[in-house]
Structure 1
Amino acid sequence: MKNLHHSAILAMAFMILFSSCASDDDDYRSIPAQNILESRIAELYGSNAALIQPLATDYSLIPNDENNPITQAKVILGKLLFHETGLAMNPNVDDGMHTYSCASCHHAKAGFQSGILQGIGEGGMGFGITGEGRFKNSLYLEEDLDVQPIRTPTALNVAYQDVMLWNGQFGATGTNEGTEANWTVGTPKEVNNLGFEGVETQAIAGLEVHRLLIDEDFILNSDYKDLFDEAFSNVDVSERYSKLNAGLAIAAYERTLLPNQAPFQQWLNGNTNAMNEEETFGAILFFGVANCYSCHSGPALNGMDFYALGMNDLAGENIMTTIDDATKRGRGGFTGNAEDDYKFKTPQLYNLKDVTFFGHGGSFQTIKDVISYKNNAIAENQNVPVSQIPEMFTPLNLDDAQVDAITAFIENALYDSNLQRYVPSELPSGNCFPNADTVSSQDMGCD
């Protein structure tokens, strides 16, 4: 019955899209494509409202960590700290001092992910136009670089994740209940013991992992003091200017990074002109026969499940670090359970148009490449056992027009063109950002 229903939806969509070929005497009554889409979403979720993202200032409607409620003061502070290159005070090489920030690998011009295949914090130089011009500083040895062994996940829509990273290792609640034995003391995973959700845990751990230092003297002798005082007035002064509170402020800011001006979001809110015909058709397929919605759901079109889809890991002559076995094993590398091996968290789908690397290993160059991969369902990574590939990874039998339509929906209808609203105009330090090395400063015109 389910397949029959999906076929009916597809048939009606085709009828709408190609009605110009019909004669005036055809004895049928067409159903507008938008009505089909709205009916399908209502069938799946109850109404359009289930997929609508709140405004970034509607803090009560954004998913919060109960131990770190979002406030305007925290968001203002976190927004600045996230971009602050002045925090880069713990580099492995002196040349890296004050040259990188959280935003080096998560910046607005690349949809809050990295603009290059392998993100670089310390040890990177340059920016280009959308972050694509960042490269390795020749003074750095591999062991001194801060580079990611896996594609940098976006910071967009993290409010809809209870655990973070491709393997989900950050987060003490929900999905990670029962993984306490893997919160290894002496590693970043130990931060899970603080009891926060994934966004907060990653933000706190990430400050140390990425060699950023919350220095009390720096804070007390800058505008940051007043910002910390406002955001954490309920915390004793002796503990107020801390890495913990800096991480909580950054997490509060990250939770507000919502691409809620994307055309699909506009359509969900009642703008019937927000999506064109092909994008609407793509959405009908996405929520219908293509079955994308079974993994990508909710306001972020993401999921908290982990799957082994046989995609390649980071590889090639431009990769700047060894990809360790734990990273390749994905969720299994964190949990230690063989049944989790090669499984990676379902990503969100908004604002993918500004990058040219997709999949946890960046092995795809376009959104269409990923859709075609799932349509053909032939695993590219021969090191992933067939036994780990889920039964749902089977050919979809979509034709070229359908693949193109789904591509148009994801690429265009899920693209918020105004993410710069989440970027500060300047920093209290006066530093360049997201990078402040000499080449980046020239690229961005902030010498």
Structure 2
Amino acid sequence: MKKYLFGLFTLGLALNLTSCKTDIDNNPEASELDISLTNSLETASNGIGKEYYILPESNDFAAIPQDPKNPLSAAKVELGKLLYHETGLAQNPVNLSGMNTYSCASCHHAAAGFQACVAQGMGEGGSGFGAFGESRKPNANYKTSDIDVQPLRSPSILNIAYQELVLWNGQFGATGANVGTEDKWHPGSHPIAQNFLGFEGVETQALAGREVHRLVIDKIFMSNIGNYKQLYEKAFDPASFYNPTSLKNNSSLAIAAYERVVLANQSPFQLWLRGNNGAMSEDEKKGALLFFGKGNCASCHNGPSLANMEFHAYGMKDLKNGQIGNSMVINVNPNDAAHLGRGGFTGVDSEKYEFKVPQLYNLKDSPFYGHGASFSSVKEVIMYKNLAKKENDNVPDSYLSSQFKPLNLTSDEIEQLTVFIENALRDPNLTRYVPSKLPSGLGFPNNDKQTRVDLGF
């Protein structure tokens, strides 16, 4: 674990030196490029300006979007931070060898920008980590069918506070666009049934994910491991600790509270928005001008997280079994309704093949893009959208988004846009969201034998 944290800290420090230096030095005067970008932001935000794009500090709870049924508090966030990374919750594995070996962070960890760094995240039955998660693969001692994976690429939890609905198809969440979809919530034990509790997407996913990903939060664990009981009683009504349903659900809500404060607010673009004119390079500023101008990116990727709650069909390929880059993908059924995107959840024909607009921070940390991990670089995605020619023949042209049209960017403009997204939107210090150790004393984000070797704990 020390090796994992030290590696993340060292990388973040090295990449952050330039930003630190400009904070110390006198702030450069605004250049013509700065002024042009400021004007572009004002246009893209309908007159609001820079402040429209600023991510709040992670302890400024009043400024962070939150579910009114799960208000943020420091005690709740601290408990959630530990439970999110806690491999000791891995108490319901299919294979007994999986006990205490996986966590929420197995597929969404800081080293990969809270993505997986592989094409398909793996919970129980995954083996290894590498340096940034890139070496995780199926455990040879598991039946392939027993390994916990999903049919789409694992999205990031960064800036998830700005997503009212969660997952690529937006199936989790009882509010917003999901009002009216109640007949699709599958009463009973189905994960989507958690929508009936009435929470927004972040909370609903945390509640559903506990069962889906074979995690257990009960009185035995919380009473006997470290100071979890005390942390819980600071965050919630102490009497609820003795109600099994309240205990596990409140603990899941604490995880959701933690996820909401994981914000990429130390990226160069965010520093620039706050007035540090030297935080971005000239090429990054030119790329930002393209992003908010000719590239038309802000028509979908807007607001503090550079996303929105829309769903679009861009004809990208679905995740498929086999080798993708350094990753092995398994257990994907090509007929899974997940490949139909929003329409696979709602049953609305016109919404088939539409997937939720993703946030854009720290994409560089996990080199797989699109719901099906069919791209291996940010530049590839930009080139694809610039050309606007679908790659998935299973998606009829009539379903493609009206936004999917040629952008007519030059090669130089593509490079500048890439630099902006890869570098200016990369927060180099995500280790601030990672605990130094767990109350259980176990390793994390995974605790399987090979991960322990890889991370030196």
Matched residue, 2:36: 36
CA distance in 2 between partners of 1:38 and 1:88 (Å): 48
How many residues were matched structurally?
417
In the alignment, structure 1 segments of 5+ residues that lack a partner are: 1-29
Aligned-partner Cα distance in 1 for 2:398–2:122? 34
Q: Is residue 342 of structure 2 the alignment partner of residue 331 of structure 1? A: yes
Higher RCO structure (Cα 8 Å, ≥6 apart): 2
1:124 aligns with 2:116: no
Kindly provide the CA deviation profile for residues 400-425 of structure 1, in whole angstroms up to 9, marking residues without a partner as x. Answer: 00000100000000000000000000
SS at match of 1:60: helix
**Amino acid across the alignment from 1:252:** A
Asked if the contact 2:319–2:332 (Cα under 8 Å) also holds between the matched residues in 1, the reply is no
Relative to structure 1, is the Cα distance of residues 364 and 261 closer, same or farther in structure 2, using a 3 angstrom cutoff?
Answer: same
- What do the CA deviations read for 1:91-118 (whole angstroms, capped 9, x no partner)? 0011111100000000000000111111
Residue correspondence of structure 1 range 67-78 to structure 2 within 5 A: 67-78=69-80
SS in structure 1 at match of 2:120: coil
- State the Cα distance separating 1:236 from its structure 2 match: 3.2
TM-score, normalised via structure 1 length: 0.92
Q: CA RMSD in A?
A: 1.3
- 1:438 has 2:449 as partner: yes
Alignment equivalent of 1:229, drawn from 229, 233, 241: 233
State the alpha-carbon separation in 2 of the partners of residues 234 and 101 from structure 1. 25
Q: Structure 1 residue runs of 4+, over 6 Å off?
A: none
Note the C-alpha offset of 1:316: 4.5
Q: How does 1:367-406 map to 2 (within 5 A)?
A: 367-406=378-417
- Which residue of 2 is the match for residue 194 of structure 1? 197
Instruction: Map 1:7-18; keep pairs closer than 5 Å.
Output: none
Aligned AA (1:322): V
| Partners of 1:295 and 1:123 in 2: CA distance | 36
CA distance in 2, matches of 1:383, 1:190: 30
Please give the residue correspondences for 1:293-442 in structure 2 after superposition, counting only pairs within 5 Å.
293-318=298-323, 319-323=329-333, 324-442=335-453
Q: In the alignment, is the contact (CA less than 8 A) between 2:151 and 2:336 conserved in 1? A: no
The residue number in structure 2 matching 1:20 is none
Q: Distance in 2 between matches of 1:234 and 1:84?
A: 21
Distance 1:79 1:403, change over 3 A: same
Partners in 2 of 1:124 and 1:237 — Cα distance?
32
Matched residues in 2 for 1:195 and 1:254: separation? 18
Give the Cα–Cα distance (whole angstroms) in 2 for the partners of residues 178 and 115 of structure 1. 35
Compute the displacement of 1:234 (Å): 6.3
- Kindly provide the amino acid, as one letter, of the partner of residue 183 in structure 1: W
Structure-1 residue corresponding to 2:65: 63
Give the equivalent residue in structure 2 for 1:54: 56
Residue number among 103, 106, 109 corresponding to 1:107 in the alignment: 109
Question: Which residue is 1:219 aligned to?
Answer: 222
Deviations 1:186-227 (A, max 9, x none): 310000000000000000110000000012111111210001
Sequence identity of aligned pairs in percent?
54
1:142-173 CA deviation, whole Å, 9 max, x = no partner? Answer: 22110121000101010000000000000000
- Counterpart mapping for 1:75-90 below 5 A: 75-90=77-92
TM-score (norm 2): 0.90
- Larger Rg over CA atoms: 1
Equivalent position amino acid for 2:82 in 1 = L
Between 177-186 and 374-383, the greater mean CA deviation after superposition = 177-186
Q: Name the CA distance, whole Å, in 1 between partners of 2:302 and 2:181.
A: 25
- 1:293-312 alpha-carbon deviations (Å, 9 max, x no partner): 00000000011000110000
Secondary structure class of the residue paired with 1:236: helix
Which whole-Å CA distance do the structure 2 matches of 1:82 and 1:31 have between them?
A: 43
The match for 1:24 is none
Distance 2:241 2:312 in 1: 45
Deviation at 1:31, TM superposition (A): 7.2
Unaligned stretches of 5+ residues in structure 2? 1-29, 324-328
Q: Displacement, 1:337?
A: 1.0
Amino acid of the structure 1 residue aligned with 2:142: Y
Please report how far the alpha carbon of residue 44 of structure 1 lies from its aligned counterpart in structure 2 after TM superposition.
2.5
- 8 Å CA contact 2:360, 2:421 repeated in 1: yes
Corresponding residue for residue 144 of structure 1:
146
Q: Is the 8 A contact 2:166 2:201 kept in 1?
A: yes
For residues 161 and 317 of structure 1, what CA distance do their matches in structure 2 show? 31
Distance 2:231 2:211 in 1: 21
Letter of the aligned partner of 1:209 in structure 2? V
Per the alignment, residue 3 of structure 1 pairs with: none
Q: Which residue of 2 aligns with 1:206?
A: 209
Aligned match of 1:9: none
Alpha-carbon separation, structure 2, partners of 1:237 and 1:395 = 56
Q: Distance in 2 between matches of 1:113 and 1:306?
A: 20
